[in-house]
Chain A
Amino acid sequence: MENMVNIYLYGKKYEVPSSLTIMNAMEYAGYQLVRGVGCRCGFCGACATIYRIKGQQELKTCLACQTKVEDNMYIATLPFFPLVKQPYDIEKVKPSEQIMMQLYPEVYACIGCNACTKACTQELNVMQYIAYAQRGDFEKCAEESFDCVMCGVCSSRCPAGITHPQVGLLARRLNGKYLAPETQHLLERVAEIENGGCEADLQDIMKKTAEELKEMYNNRDFEK
């Protein structure tokens, strides 16, 4: 017999195998999930979840697909949280401090409580990347927030009403487009393609018979 534990889904008690993740335990209990489920692999952030172990003070947060059940776990999923997303034109914005002030001024209301960092399901230093955003250091903000899955748990815990995932995303896009060094070899190849410079070779290889192609393929030289 498998080792079983008691969990409480939205307050209701279920007995489930202790080896299951929270998501699998919900399905074991009979739920067919539509909300709060996505990649089931820790990448999409759809399954943000809040729980407390009976008798403990601390309220914990996690991704349901990445966390095993524990005995006496009280579970509430957070399939949606009203995050703020400000539209902007990526071609017109500039990577300056003003852009944060303009789009997400609430970052300057951060009281430094660090609840966001404590809540992060990816163990990111969320408060730190918000601090970088305040200073307009988008490169560091981008790096520090890179592994964010945008589950929104940080924002649910923020007394200042900051939408951390969107701040990080804005910083990353500004960084990717404006701050990261330009790729010369990419620009050159795109120009070559647009000027028809790659066309002859492509037309040539497309005309090869299956046998000729196989011969070429089996005798390719490999970059070390």
Chain B
Amino acid sequence: MPDTAHTYMYGNRILYLAIGAGLLFLLFIIQLVRQRKLSERFALAWMIIPVLLILFSSNRELLERLAVLAGIAYAPALMIPIIFGLFTLVSLYFSIKACKSEQQLTKLAQEVALLRQQIWQLSQAKSRENESSHSKS
């Protein structure tokens, strides 16, 4: 078997593996959504990774073109920076979400504390009122 054909075949095998892994990952995310362990909004962010992984892996021509643009001789190797980039973006997205949730939690906790304090003050005033009415009667 000529070298180029050999490399091409093994390259394809890696791409088939990537498609398989992407499909498994996709199924896993769908299962998490079905079990209500992952909300649709977050699932969508995670689904971007396997969908793009499958897209790039199933279109060798597109991958070859992108590899030429990136200056990478072996096209399937392009999957590494693509996957790394996607995970980085998704992680960043979740960091932003976590930051927002933290701010909302702080606000909520402060509101709860202030409302509790108002209830406490009202109950104190009420008990004082009751005591004074009892002593009058």
Is the pairing of A and B real? no
